[in-house]
Chain A
């Protein structure tokens, strides 16, 4: 158990509303990631963080922002949700010694 939790696990919202997804870790790892998973696209990197207040964009960052004010939490925010952001969002942390990623169970977001 890598000690990673995502919340909420399921959310239904309307177009134009803000949404924040939270990723929490108990392991004190430096690297944290947000991916989205869609049929036919696999996993695509949205944003990732390599330390407190240190973040970088992935390949599908438009429409998303992130914040990491403390080591254990990495927040993903959709400022104004659109239907194209309906997806399953996965948070992951990188093992400090091994380089492998540990994934959360995912957050299913539906934007109506």
Chain B
């Protein structure tokens, strides 16, 4: 089964609002990563957070990691219509030789 599970499955917000997406996983990890996919394209890496980090920022992105709850959240602030895409979390499990697995993804729609 897939390691990461995102929540919600779909999210629709107005431009300018914040978008929060969650990811839960099952086993110990080295790091957790978030990716974005525009329709018909490959995935693009957004941000990586290591197991010993609790929060990380990159531009309008903020990622948190709670290893005790085995969960992460991705916050996109001041969303734009161009943020419309699918978002995936991926986990790099401990002791699994970089066997990165993905969740099913979240579809984000940002209305102009």
Mark A residues whose CB is within 8 Å of B: 31, 33, 35, 40-45, 48, 50, 56, 58-59, 90, 92, 94, 98-106
Contacts and interface: CB of A to CB of B under 8 A. Distances in A.
How many chain B residues sit at the interface, stated as a range, is: 20 to 34
Majority-rule SS of B interface residues: strand
A106 B2 contact: no
A101 B89 CA distance: 12
Interface in B92-112: 92, 97-105
Given A43-B88, A50-B98, A59-B1, A100 B103 contact: no
Nearest to B89: A42
B102 A58 contact: no
Interface stretch (B14-22, B40-48, B60-68, B76-84): B40-48
B31 interface: yes
B24 to A, nearest CB: 14
Contact of B92 (A42, A99, A104, A106): A99
Contact of A41 (B30, B43, B92, B104): B104
Contact of B43 (A44, A59, A90, A94): A90
A48 B97 CA distance: 10
11 contacts: A42-B105, A43-B88, A50-B97, A56-B99, A59-B2, A59-B101, A90-B43, A99-B98, A100-B33, A101-B33, A106-B42
